[in-house]
Amino acid sequence: MKDSYYFKHDANARHDPKIQILISDYGMAGYGMYWVIIEMLREATHTRLDEKDYVWSALALELKITVTEVKKFIEDCVEKYELLTRDDGFFFSESLLARMVKLEEIRSKRQRAAEIRWIDKELNSPL
């Protein structure tokens, strides 16, 4: 199955107090930037991004803002809004990580169920 980088998120995320303050400070453009970053985190290896110059430049390019503005936005998402976490030279979303664990659990259960059905079909098929 092709991984389309799916991830679940709350349809009412904009009502979260942390998001509301982000929107108050950055407007709906900030809300859009936040979701672009979450999408990029979802696509990234291990669902986290390095705090390296080329990553900052890529984020700036993707968000159509300067590297300085990207760094300030990420800093605010970490320190002010507590929407992102920094650790060991990376930043990530704990919420996204938790959702990805749940998604992987669902995929594993579905895979096991399919294998059991296949085995059962093989064992019970007439010769």
81-112 pLDDT tens trace? 999 999 999 999 998 888 777 666 655 666 67
Q: Does domain 13-93 have CATH number 1.10.10?
A: yes
**How far is CA 116 from each of CA 49, 104, 109, rounded to the nearest angstrom?**
37, 18, 11
Whether the Cβ atoms of residue 23 and residue 30 lie closer than 8 Å to each other: yes
- CA–CA separation, 57 and 51 (whole Å): 10
Residue 8 has pLDDT above 60, yes or no: no
Quick one: pLDDT at residue 45? 84
Q: Taking a C-beta distance cutoff of 8 angstroms, is the pair 41, 47 a contact?
A: yes
Give the CB-side neighbour count of residue 89, counting CA atoms within 13 A.
4
Report domain extents, the chain: 13-93
Token code pair at residue 95: 């919420």
Torsion, Cα of 98, 25, 5, 103 (10° steps):
20
Q: What is the mean pLDDT of residues 66-76?
A: 98
pLDDT at 119 > cutoff 50: yes
| pLDDT at residue number 2 | 44
Task: Kindly report, residue by residue over 26-50, the tens digit of the pLDDT.
Answer: 999 999 999 999 999 989 988 899 9
4 pLDDT above the threshold of 60: no
pTM: 0.74
Question: Averaged over 71-81, what is the pLDDT?
Answer: 98
What average pLDDT does this structure show over 60-71?
97
- Return the pLDDT at 65: 97
114: helix, strand or coil: helix
